[in-house]
Chains A and B, each alone.
Chain A
Amino acid sequence: MLYSPTPLHIPDGFLSLTVSIFFWLITLVVLSVAVRRTEKLDEKQVPLMGVMAAFIFAAQMINFPVAGGTSGHLLGGALAAIMLGPWAGMLVMTSVVAVQGLLFQDGGLLVMGANIFNMGLLTAAIGFGLYKAAEGRTRAVKLGAAGLGAWLSVMAGALFASLQLWLSGTARLDIVMPAMLGIHALIGLGEALITVAALSFIFRTRPDLLDESKNAAQGGRGWVWVGGLVSLFVVFLSPFASAAPDGLERVAINAGFISTSADAPYSILPDYTLPFLGETGLSTILAGIVGALVVGVLVVLLLRGRAKATE
């Protein structure tokens, strides 16, 4: 089968109406800004974004065997944002998620707002933000930033998907979050490798497409802050949520997501003691650091190999 679904596409029925509508609202606000910003650029952008959306769709078919019959492939949010700019990248990923949901039922319609947020908006913000932070640096630094951005963008999507599932009362946070983050730490590794390799290929063959002075109109330095803040949020929230789910629950109650009535749709059992939670929190932090280090080392190794090959 050429078209392989990823575990990030939430189907209908898995998110509560409140959560679905909340994320639809955020997504619509961001998208309306994206549409206005992109319309200001020349009208050539529209066919370009359309073909690029088809490109992301087709690029997801390119897989590589990992081990035991499993294979990795690209999600593409970070790559799209780096090549086209954050706003256009968001629109491209939105149409990809929309077609996957509409045509293949890979991801639901009512929950599409959440899916677009996880896979289109977050990924573009992080991918572009971190890449922009390396502006003016050497090619190797840029590729490293892109790789880290790609890995973090997948982790951010997984984090938000598990938060949404938990807020909907569909899953238990202390199980779904380590599971989702664990799987996506690996999927994100594939994402980082492919993104870096694809970018370095484009650097070699068409460096003009990645020319900074030409692409200045895509998005300003402000994106460094946006991407950085979202990344920090991901890096800090993951351990916090694992270490103190009660604290997170308090926040959710205050924000009005979880009702405090007697028959709460979701509540952690009162007599439920979790002696291991400290460990889990610590292990999540460690996993995050190790993951980031592994990505960094891999990027450096890849670059070394490339440098040697060209010598």
Chain B
Amino acid sequence: MIHNNLFDRYYATESPLHRLSPSVKVLLTVFFILSNALLPDGHWIGFGISWAVIFLLNWVGQLGWGYTFKRSFIALPFALAAVTAIFALPGKTLAEFDVLFWHLLATDAGLLRFFSIVVRSWLSVQVAILLVATTQFPDLIHALEHLRLPRMLITVIAFLYRYIFVLSDEVLRLLRARQARSAVLPGQSGGGTVFWRAKIAGNMVGQLFLRSYERSDRIYNAMLARGYQGHLRTLNRHAMHTRDWVILILSSAALLFLQIFTHF
């Protein structure tokens, strides 16, 4: 059985967002993230408007109001790296700390910067979630092809997506086999040293490599047998309709307007 639910982030339903051309969605996602990056530090109105737009898009996409928010916590651990921004900017000193070797001055400018970075990143993650929730991954790949990304890279990504499911099942089998042979008697410690465990994991990686390598041979032969000519084909034409153009132009203009509004 293929566990495709492990990796599929698509939310199957009917909505105007789902029907929009994938190329337009990819472009608007990039523009939106660009716009987030350009919002000035501490412009809470600008951040608020962007957040409200995402909230609204959740509803337009029939995902339920909190869909992207609930899934947006993945980037938060990285905020740890930005914590040091609090101590990096000159400004009014709010507090002082001495940690190990470091003498740290928390400034108001630094704090403002930290929160702006976290909000920007939070907004951008939600936009990206919105894209994959409303676009099937094969459509996304073809959209990238229409946007003139190198065809070879796109084909590799398409293969990657196709075989993640197969190879992750292979991994699940390997992990299950290891678990089945790793029984521990009660009261005894098992599992050997860390190095031994790392070596076993390495052997499993080597095993997985060989299985993948041999599989790719079979895949290539099968593809040749069916007339492979160097790239993958699609039946979806991905033609841009008037509606798509109108939405692309209007939304880009709105993002541009948001930038002008926040900068002047």
Residue numbers of A with Cβ under 8 A of B are 2-3, 5, 7, 9-14, 16-17, 20, 31-32, 35, 38-39, 43-44, 46-55, 57-59, 61-67, 72-74, 79, 83, 91-92, 94-96, 98-99, 101-106, 108-110, 165, 169-172, 174-176, 180, 190, 193-202, 205-206, 209, 266-270, 272, 276, 279-280, 298, 301-302
Interface residue tally for chain B (C-beta within 8 Å): 89
> Which 8 A-B pairs give the minimum distances between C-beta atoms?
A50-B159, A197-B202, A201-B206, A13-B121, A12-B124, A13-B120, A54-B163, A51-B216
A198 and B81 contact, Cβ closer than 8 Å, known pairs A54-B166, A65-B197, A193-B198? no
A298 and B36 contact, Cβ closer than 8 Å, known pairs A172-B84, A198-B206? no
Find the B residue at minimum CB distance from A209: B213
Query: Is B258 interfacial (CB-CB < 8 Å)?
Result: no
Determine the chain B residues whose CB is within 8 A of the CB of A96 once the complex forms.
160
Determine the chain B residues whose CB is within 8 A of the CB of A61 once the complex forms.
168, 171, 175
A14 and B152 contact, Cβ closer than 8 Å, known pairs A57-B164, A105-B129, A169-B113? no
Checking A50, A109, A194 against B29 with a beta-carbon cut-off of 8 angstroms, the contacting residue is A109
* Chain A interface, >50% SS class: helix
| Contact assessment for B85 and A171 in the assembled complex, using a CB-CB cutoff below 8 Å | yes
A9 to B128, CA, bound (A): 15
| Contact assessment for B124 and A108 in the assembled complex, using a CB-CB cutoff below 8 Å | yes
Query: Is B191 interfacial (CB-CB < 8 Å)?
Result: yes
Query: Is B55 interfacial (CB-CB < 8 Å)?
Result: no
Query: Is B102 interfacial (CB-CB < 8 Å)?
Result: yes
- A160 shortest CB reach to chain B, Å: 13
- A289 shortest CB reach to chain B, Å: 20
A48 to B155, CA, bound (A): 11
| Contact assessment for A31 and B9 in the assembled complex, using a CB-CB cutoff below 8 Å | no
Determine the chain A residues whose CB is within 8 A of the CB of B223 once the complex forms.
47
| Contact assessment for B128 and A109 in the assembled complex, using a CB-CB cutoff below 8 Å | yes
| Contact assessment for B88 and A171 in the assembled complex, using a CB-CB cutoff below 8 Å | yes
Residue numbers of B with Cβ under 8 A of A are 6-7, 9, 29-30, 33-34, 36-38, 71-72, 74-75, 77-78, 81-82, 84-85, 87-90, 101-103, 105, 113, 117-125, 128-129, 131-132, 137, 140, 150, 152-153, 155-164, 166-168, 170-171, 174-175, 191, 194-195, 197-210, 212-213, 215-216, 219-220, 223, 230
Determine the chain A residues whose CB is within 8 A of the CB of B166 once the complex forms.
54
A-B residue pairs in contact (CB < 8 Å), sample of 5 = A14-B82, A57-B168, A99-B164, A190-B198, A301-B195
| Contact assessment for A103 and B205 in the assembled complex, using a CB-CB cutoff below 8 Å | no
Determine the chain B residues whose CB is within 8 A of the CB of A199 once the complex forms.
206
| Contact assessment for A108 and B128 in the assembled complex, using a CB-CB cutoff below 8 Å | yes
| Contact assessment for B212 and A172 in the assembled complex, using a CB-CB cutoff below 8 Å | no
| Contact assessment for A51 and B84 in the assembled complex, using a CB-CB cutoff below 8 Å | no
| Contact assessment for B160 and A95 in the assembled complex, using a CB-CB cutoff below 8 Å | yes
Determine the chain A residues whose CB is within 8 A of the CB of B215 once the complex forms.
51
Determine the chain B residues whose CB is within 8 A of the CB of A101 once the complex forms.
128
A202 and B210 contact, Cβ closer than 8 Å, known pairs A10-B78, A62-B204, A172-B88? yes
Determine the chain B residues whose CB is within 8 A of the CB of A105 once the complex forms.
71-72, 74-75, 125, 128-129, 132
* Chain B interface, >50% SS class: helix
| Contact assessment for A94 and B153 in the assembled complex, using a CB-CB cutoff below 8 Å | yes
| Contact assessment for A63 and B164 in the assembled complex, using a CB-CB cutoff below 8 Å | no
| Contact assessment for B157 and A95 in the assembled complex, using a CB-CB cutoff below 8 Å | yes
Checking A14, A176, A209, A279 against B117 with a beta-carbon cut-off of 8 angstroms, the contacting residue is A14
| Contact assessment for A197 and B209 in the assembled complex, using a CB-CB cutoff below 8 Å | no
| Contact assessment for A196 and B202 in the assembled complex, using a CB-CB cutoff below 8 Å | yes
A79 to B208, CA, bound (A): 13
| Contact assessment for A62 and B195 in the assembled complex, using a CB-CB cutoff below 8 Å | no
A38 to B204, CA, bound (A): 28
| Contact assessment for B205 and A2 in the assembled complex, using a CB-CB cutoff below 8 Å | no
Given contacts A110-B124, A266-B88, 17 further A-B contacts (CB under 8 A): A5-B77, A7-B78, A14-B78, A14-B82, A47-B159, A51-B167, A54-B160, A64-B194, A66-B194, A91-B153, A99-B160, A106-B74, A108-B33, A198-B205, A270-B90, A276-B101, A298-B195
Determine the chain B residues whose CB is within 8 A of the CB of A169 once the complex forms.
85, 88-89, 113
Checking A5, A10, A20, A83 against B37 with a beta-carbon cut-off of 8 angstroms, the contacting residue is A20
| Contact assessment for B152 and A46 in the assembled complex, using a CB-CB cutoff below 8 Å | yes
- A281 shortest CB reach to chain B, Å: 12
| Contact assessment for B201 and A46 in the assembled complex, using a CB-CB cutoff below 8 Å | no
Checking A64, A103, A109 against B9 with a beta-carbon cut-off of 8 angstroms, the contacting residue is A103
A64 and B201 contact, Cβ closer than 8 Å, known pairs A49-B159, A102-B128, A105-B129? yes
A5 to B75, CA, bound (A): 10
A101 to B9, CA, bound (A): 12
Determine the chain B residues whose CB is within 8 A of the CB of A12 once the complex forms.
33, 36-37, 75, 120-121, 124-125, 128
Determine the chain A residues whose CB is within 8 A of the CB of B209 once the complex forms.
55, 59, 79, 83, 198, 202
